[in-house]
Structure 1
Amino acid sequence: MKAALMYGPNDIRVEEIDKPVCPEDGLLINVRAVGLCGSDIRNLTTDSRKGKYPHVYGHEVVGQVTEIGPKVEGYAIGDKLYVYPVGHCGRCEACRSGHSEMCQYGDDYTGRMGGFTDYYVVTGQQLSRDSVFKLNPGQDEIAATLAEPLSSVYACQDNIDVRFGDTVVVIGAGPIGCFHVQLARMRGATKIAMVELNEKRLEMAQRFGADLYINSSKEDPVEAIRKWTNGRGADKVISATPVTATQNQAIYMTKNNGITVWFGGVAKGKLAEIDSNYVHYHGLWIYGHFGANSIQVEQSFHLALSDAFQADKFITHVLPLSEINKGIHLTKTGEAIKVVLIPNEELNKDLLSRKVKEE
């Protein structure tokens, strides 16, 4: 079978490897579609495994069951599945308190072979936890790949209670930022602004209907948001970029007693310079968001497949796995919002034949 093997930073080669064996207590699935995530790109372009290569990444996996272990019940050949990458144990203190996103014993999905390959093993542990969701007949497998990145966005806005009347600012027009704009609108936010320094990304993001788009390479975004809100600031400001500078900007865009969200993870060791006196005297709430709990994961799966979410607005490119390097380039330059890769090109040519309309 073919797989996209990482041999080192920016060295990704699609090669033949041995097909994995179906475990006695697990499944083997034909990977029908797999999303190309920003964290995948970060891992693929840095020395993410400290020289332990080659390795296969990919965690936004949707596939079809081709083999079933003898100890497995409840699944049939041909079932189509979305596989969330982290299985929560359900027993640790975090899980029992409703914060399974902080599970002490969650699966290390980056350590095992991922989904940038023709076939993927669903382990017995994944089946016994909260990782696997069946698609109904006719549901869109490509849209289902959005369930994983959407889950964290859904959880964030659920936790900070984005609602009718809110003014929301989203910093970053990558896939996550676009999810935030779309979901904030669905939750009833009254005014939404998006801030981005890449003009291509900003132009593409206009399909999601924010009320204001700010190019931060051309104007001061803090000043622009202050002016837009008559000096008040926004109720909720979400920094969805991997840089500390926007985390700091988000603070000054937030109204008194408002919520600043640090959503995007930054490089390890990078520290944000924070005017703690400003935070103190303006009564700001700073919320660091990561992951989604078990219920939020399930709700996001259903949302991604719903007509209301309009997944095709996000998925700008559907490419064969052999073009993974092209997908990385398109994403990094801002020419793509979301890239979905199709492995096993012969077996899944029905998905490759789909054309995604760019607005």
Structure 2
Amino acid sequence: MKAAVVHGKNDIRIEEVPRPSAAQGEIVIKVRACGICATDVKTLLGQGLPKKLPAILGHEVAGEIAEIGQGVQGFTVGQRVALYPIAVCGECPYCRRNRHNLCLKEFGLGHGIDGGFAEYVRVPAQIINIGGVVPLPTGLSFEEAAMAEPLSCCLAAAHTGPVGPGYTVAIVGAGPMGLLHTKVARQAGARVIVADLLDERLHLARHMGANLCVNTSREDFVPAIHRLTDGQGADLVIASLGIPEVMQQCLPAVKNGGTFNIFGGPPAGQTMTFDPRWVHYSEIKITGTFASTPLDFHRALSLIARGNVIVKDLISHRFTFDNFLEAVEKVKNREMVRGVLII
């Protein structure tokens, strides 16, 4: 089978690799669509390469069941499904509290096992057993289903602060995840302010529901947020980009009693500073969001299937193995919104 195989920093090749087989308790999926996440590209740039190389990345997967291992019940060959990408132990304190994304032994597609940038992907029992293989409703396309994973991450972030009617959510960064945050907050009824350096990204944010936009190449973020909120600040600020320096500059945009969510994954070893008196006396919550839970994933897929959150307009480019390396360059250069590998 064909696969996009990572051999090291900036070294990815389309190769023929053996097709996986389903051992006991496992399923093999014929991949039909796999979203191309900026995290995958950051990995290629050396920000956390897999411990074991070569490796196959890709964790936003939808496809058809091709093979079912002994002991797996409730599925049929040919069934259309989407995959929650995190495999967990099911026994640690986090798993027992349904915080599966924080499992002490977690691994998953693209980190620990081969991911979805391939014609077939093997799904271990640790994903199947937590409901991570989710049947697709009739009429839902594979490429839309592949957007359930990133949407689920945005739903997880929305849980960290007040998102709903009467609240203001400020989103720093109008990349694909910032646009998904916009959709989530608007679907919940919140007022949404989106900030970015690029007018074309802000145009997309307006199209996708942002109430107000701020171009931070022309206006500083914090004064703009205070101007647009009668001097109070936002109830929830989501830093959708992983740049600690920018995050620190944006902290004062949070209102008293509000929440600052670090969503974008920052590079290792960098730090932020803040005044603990401000956090204490203003009752500021500073939190982070990593990935999502299976419950978030199921909810995301349902929102897409029901049309409550539209994701088709996020998919700006479609690729095959023949031009997949072009996709990597476009993500690096911010030349597309969201790309999907179609197989």
* TM-score, with length taken from structure 2: 0.93
Q: Give, in whole Å, the separation in 2 of the partners of 1:244 and 1:100.
A: 26
Counterpart for residue 306 of structure 1: 306
Is 1:103 aligned to residue 99 of structure 2?
no
* TM-score, with length taken from structure 1: 0.89
Is 1:166 aligned to residue 167 of structure 2?
yes
Q: Give, in whole Å, the separation in 1 of the partners of 2:51 and 2:166.
A: 50
Contact 1:201/1:334 (CA < 8 Å) preserved in 2?
no
- Counting matched residue pairs gives 342
Contact 1:8/1:47 (CA < 8 Å) preserved in 2?
no
Which residues in structure 2 correspond to 1:335-350 (within 5 Å)?
335-343=335-343
Deviates more, 1:48-57 or 1:12-21: 48-57
Q: Give, in whole Å, the separation in 1 of the partners of 2:341 and 2:23.
A: 25
Q: Give, in whole Å, the separation in 1 of the partners of 2:291 and 2:6.
A: 25
Is 1:202 aligned to residue 206 of structure 2?
no
Residues 9 and 199 (structure 1 numbering): CA distance in 2 closer, same or farther, change over 3 Å? farther
Residues 88 and 298 (structure 1 numbering): CA distance in 2 closer, same or farther, change over 3 Å? farther
Kindly report structure 1 stretches of 4+ aligned residues shifted beyond 4 Å.
Answer: none
Aligned residues: CA RMSD: 1.9
* Local SS of the residue matching 2:186: helix
Question: Over residues 156-192 of structure 1, what are the superposed CA-to-partner deviations in whole Å (9 max), with x where a residue is unaligned?
Answer: 2134231100011000111111111111111011x21
Question: Over residues 313-351 of structure 1, what are the superposed CA-to-partner deviations in whole Å (9 max), with x where a residue is unaligned?
Answer: 2111121133222222323333322111113xxxxxxxx
Code of the residue aligned with 2:329 in structure 1: it is: H
Contact 1:240/1:263 (CA < 8 Å) preserved in 2?
yes
The answer for unaligned runs of 5 or more in structure 2 is none
Counterpart for residue 115 of structure 2: 114
Q: Give, in whole Å, the separation in 2 of the partners of 1:229 and 1:339.
A: 35
Residues 234 and 108 (structure 1 numbering): CA distance in 2 closer, same or farther, change over 3 Å? same
Q: Give, in whole Å, the separation in 2 of the partners of 1:237 and 1:270.
A: 20
Deviates more, 1:285-294 or 1:46-55: 46-55
The answer for unaligned runs of 5 or more in structure 1 is 344-359
Contact 1:305/1:311 (CA < 8 Å) preserved in 2?
no
Q: Give, in whole Å, the separation in 1 of the partners of 2:322 and 2:3.
A: 9
Q: Give, in whole Å, the separation in 1 of the partners of 2:182 and 2:165.
A: 14
How much has 1:52 moved relative to structure 2? 4.4
Which residues in structure 2 correspond to 1:326-341 (within 5 Å)?
326-341=326-341
Which residues in structure 2 correspond to 1:21-36 (within 5 Å)?
21-36=21-36
* Local SS of the residue matching 2:28: strand
Counterpart for residue 296 of structure 2: 296
Q: Give, in whole Å, the separation in 2 of the partners of 1:51 and 1:89.
A: 20
Which residues in structure 2 correspond to 1:172-187 (within 5 Å)?
172-187=173-188
How much has 1:207 moved relative to structure 2? 1.7
Code of the residue aligned with 1:33 in structure 2: it is: A
How much has 1:47 moved relative to structure 2? 6.0
Which residues in structure 2 correspond to 1:1-359 (within 5 Å)?
1-46=1-46, 48-49=48-49, 52-109=52-109, 110-189=111-190, 191-343=191-343
How much has 1:51 moved relative to structure 2? 7.8
Q: Give, in whole Å, the separation in 2 of the partners of 1:136 and 1:209.
A: 26
Code of the residue aligned with 2:189 in structure 1: it is: G
Contact 2:21/2:67 (CA < 8 Å) preserved in 1?
no
How much has 1:60 moved relative to structure 2? 0.7
Q: Give, in whole Å, the separation in 2 of the partners of 1:51 and 1:318.
A: 29
Q: Give, in whole Å, the separation in 2 of the partners of 1:85 and 1:51.
A: 18
Code of the residue aligned with 1:229 in structure 2: it is: T
Q: Give, in whole Å, the separation in 1 of the partners of 2:210 and 2:76.
A: 43
Residues 117 and 242 (structure 1 numbering): CA distance in 2 closer, same or farther, change over 3 Å? same
